[in-house]
Structure 1
Amino acid sequence: MTNRNIAVAVAVSVLCFLSVPDAGFGQPVQKEPAAAAPEPSLVSFSAGALIVVTPPEYGGSWSALSIIDERPESGWATPEGVVSPQIIVIGLPEKTVLKTLTFDLGRTDGTGRGAKDILVEMSDTSATADFQKIGQVALKDKVNNQTFPVQAEIAGRWVRLTIQKNHGSTQYVELMDFRASGKQLTRTPVANVSGTYDTDYNQFHVLQEGTSLTGCYEYNEGVLTGGIEGRVLKFTWIERDKRGPAIMVISADGKRLVGMWWHEKATGAPGVWNGEKAGDEVGTCPHWAGGAAQQLTRDLEESGRARIYGINFDTDSAVIREESKPTLERIVTVLKGKTDWQMTIEGHTDATGAAAHNQTLSEKRAQSVRDFLVAAGIAATRLKPVGLGATKPVGPNDTELGRAQNRRVELVRQ
């Protein structure tokens, strides 16, 4: 894969704010040291959020998407000379109540360009109507991690930022990152994303079976295998001589994909991979094996290893979610067809939390997968569960997108 678009730098660590001491609203909160387990940002791309009302953009990597990428080094800027008030609306994946708001301005491209006064509102109706104020903040120029408690805890699905003015520049308005913590009040069933999409890398054909994703794209004999959780797709793309992870978010109407991809073990800025749905027919490619079971068989035959993203667990739990059962049943199908295969089941976590805890959690998750397969008729003697904790990352652990890639199960032929 090569970058056809200017890469957008995506995703860094989300700060966890442990308490909200007494402070005047609109004044930065004094924070305790960050906890080992960062609280996720519910308005970020990694959580399934998307920009649904886009302001004027300078272009290139200075895009509105960079505001929700959790990376203070990248950001949004207006075109030159546009310093009037700007509106950005973020669509959330679930009905949400926000409790804290965090802004980054440390890496703006010049003094005075950073956003200063921002009105923050929430709507549960649409991206254009019935917004209610949850905060009004005054930011310091060239400072990161400016955190404020919300003024009102209002539930909704759309967050509107009205950037009223900057710090005095007559050239640009810039905002590097926006994050927010709180609580999701709903849990929407996994979307069905099967179909054909016109993307930056030609047509993208994806088949969803439960939480399993397989497919192909008409560029460099590309295939993909992975899983879906909510509106977030996590998969491995594989081409003739290279591979790597990718994450996409499907829009609420199911018609648009917004995604990022990396080369295997790369830690730099990702490439952009966006698409519009062309139809519900999955279609095919000459180089694609077909459904999840067929692709899993092919991966294990050719490389002896398969990365499984469709097995989902709750946070800090080894209990397999019900939505993951179809993915596990595909593994059962493959192993019943390959009775001579002996498999190692690897559990992997991200680096959040203590190493000993992650090791134990990964062991328990691998054991849970083994228990399911044994209950489905696969001989226990063919299956070896192994926990590797956070010792074998495939993405950076200082970003939520990277951590999402690292939380996985892998199957390895012995």
Structure 2
Amino acid sequence: MTNFRNASTLLLGTFALLAAAGAASAQAKGEPDLFAFSEGARLVEYPDDVMISQMDSSPLNLIDGFVATDWTGQASPAPAFVLELPERTELSRISFDTSPLNRDAKAVKSVTVEVSDTSSTSGFETVAAVTLKRLKNNQSFSFDPEFLPVGRWVRLTVVDNYAGDEYSALTGFHGYGKQLTSVAKMPNVTGTYEGHSGWGEIHLTQQGNEVTGCYAYLNGRVTGVIKGRTMILTMIETGLDGSPIKHRAYFGMSANGKELIGIGRNTDPALGEGYFDFYAADRTGNRAGSCG
């Protein structure tokens, strides 16, 4: 931690020199995106001008792993997002996606990235200040191997956009490196929940790392597994014509074990990629019932 705190200026100086090398290695096989919601990263701070459940512009689109979806929000005051990573992490590089957008004018131009090993509100040190290219994905920037930032919280601040538009937009923010701990754990999910936005009552049962359950909407059934602090579910509903509708979803739970938050998508390839479904539910009991 001492090297990280004392090396901020050096990091910024060497960051640009290593950008080309980072871009060349951006598609390393088997390298997990440690900023992804599916990998346990959680947004703990974000601008309040866009509801997190509004999936056509949600801040969650920054970490959903798909370039087909974007966060769009007011450009002023400077939008800031804080990610909480599931583990203490040593970052080797970060990358950004800026395409596609429905209006090129809102493309983000400049951003800063800070890392904290203290908390989500303090201890942040600037580790990157970069200018992004318009409408280009996989813009990767590597850190100096001798001064890799370490922490659990990452703050992204959007400084400006290319056209001085009143809105800014970004399609992806990614982080790669090495997790230094292995302690992240999801509270036991067994229980009854009340889902928002028509999801209805949900019943989940956890045995080991496996999860089964059901929910009221369209006679839904779920199977899945727990990985770290993420629940990965296959959700199957019965359509009005009797045909199955299959979804893939990732869920996190609040630290107090009382609220589920998730993103999902229909797995039919014809409907395209991207997580267009937002799920939220409040735990109402610690025992799972049965669906009707």
TM score, norm. by length of structure 1: 0.58
Which of 39, 61, 78 is 1:85 aligned to? Answer: 78
Shift of 1:212: 1.1
Work out the CA distance in 1 between the residues paired with 2:101 and 2:276: 22
- Given that residues 262 and 270 in structure 1 are in contact (C-alpha distance below 8 angstroms), is that contact kept between their aligned partners in structure 2? yes
- 28-37 vs 107-116, greater mean Cα deviation: 28-37
Deviation sequence 1:3-51 (CA, Å, 0-9, x none): xxxxxxxxxxxxxxxxxxxx95236424447667241110011211121
The CA distance in 2 between the partners of 1:280 and 1:154, in whole Å, is 41
Shift in Å, 1:259: 2.0
Separation in 1 of the partners of 2:71 and 2:163? 17
Shift in Å at residue 96 of structure 1?
1.0
Inter-partner Cα distance in structure 1 for 2:260 and 2:269: 22
The answer as to 2:254 corresponding to 1:261 is no
Larger radius of gyration: 1
| Cα deviations by residue, 1:100-124 (Å, 9 ceiling, x for unpaired) | 1101113233334222221111122
Select 2:290's aligned residue among 282, 285, 288. 285
Greater shift in the superposed pair: 174-183 or 184-193: 184-193
CA contact (8 A) 2:113 2:155 kept: yes
- One-letter amino acid of the structure 1 residue matched with residue 40 of structure 2: G
Deviation of 1:167 (Å)? 1.6
1:74 aligns with 2:65: no
TM-score normalized with structure 2 length: 0.80
Change (3 A) 1:133 1:189: closer
> What is the CA distance between 1:276 and its match in structure 2?
3.5
Query: Which one of the candidate residues 258, 266, 279 is aligned to 1:274?
Result: 279
The partner residue of 1:26 within 16, 36, 55 is: 16
Matched residue of 1:97: which SS? strand
How much has 1:64 moved relative to structure 2?
0.5
User: 1:179 is matched with which residue?
Assistant: 174
Q: How is 1:98-113 mapped onto 2 (pairs within 5 angstroms)?
A: 98-113=91-106
Render the CA deviation track for 1:254-280: whole Å, top value 9, x for unaligned: 343232334454462444242243244
Structure 1 counterpart SS, 2:167? coil
Could you tell me how far apart the structure 1 residues matched to 2:143 and 2:164 are?
A: 28
Higher strand share: 2
Q: How does 1:8-407 map to 2 (within 5 A)?
A: 24-26=14-16, 28-30=19-21, 31-32=23-24, 37-55=29-47, 56-57=49-50, 59-79=54-74, 82-150=75-143, 152-188=147-183, 190-191=185-186, 192-200=188-196, 201-240=199-238, 241=242, 242-251=244-253, 253=255, 254-266=257-269, 268=272, 269-287=274-292
Q: Which moved more, 1:53-62 or 1:134-143?
A: 53-62
Change (3 A) 1:255 1:132: farther
Kindly indicate whether the alpha-carbon contact (under 8 Å) linking 1:126 and 1:158 is maintained by their aligned counterparts in 2: yes
Residues 80 and 158 of structure 2 are in contact (CA less than 8 Å); yes or no, is this contact kept in structure 1?
Answer: yes
Cα gap change, 1:263 to 1:110, in 2 (>3 Å): closer
Contact 1:93/1:252 (CA < 8 Å) preserved in 2?
no
Cα deviation digits, residues 359-384 of structure 1 (max 9, x gap): xxxxxxxxxxxxxxxxxxxxxxxxxx
For residues 189 and 24 of structure 2, what CA distance do their matches in structure 1 show?
41
Query: Conserved in 2, the CA contact under 8 Å of 1:197 and 1:275?
Result: no
AA of the residue aligned to 1:272: D
CA distance in 2, matches of 1:245, 1:270: 10
Gaps of 5+ in 1: 1-22, 288-414
Query: What are structure 2's unaligned runs of at least 5 residues?
Result: 1-12
Amino acid at match of 2:223: T
Q: Distance in 2 between matches of 1:121 and 1:35?
A: 23
- Note closer, same or farther for the CA distance 1:34–1:101 as it changes in structure 2 (3 Å cut): closer
Asked whether the 8 Å contact 1:26–1:148 carries over to 2, the reply is yes
Encode CA deviations 1:167-193: one digit per residue, 9 max, x unaligned. 232321111111111011111254222
The farther-off stretch of 220-229 and 176-185 is 220-229
For 1:383, the equivalent position in structure 2 comes to none
Q: Is the 8 A contact 2:117 2:152 kept in 1?
A: yes
- CA gap 1:160/1:104 in 2 versus in 1, 3 angstroms: same
CA distance in 2, matches of 1:211, 1:236: 14
Asked if the contact 1:84/1:164 (under 8 Å) is kept, the reply is no
Q: Which amino acid aligns with 1:29?
A: A
CA-based RMSD of the aligned residues comes to 2.5
Once residues 102 and 230 of structure 2 are traced to their aligned partners in structure 1, the CA distance between those partners, rounded to angstroms, is: 31
Any idea what the Cα deviations from partners look like across 1:70-112, whole Å, max 9, x if unmatched?
2122111114xx4331111112111111111101113233334
- Name the count of aligned residue pairs: 263
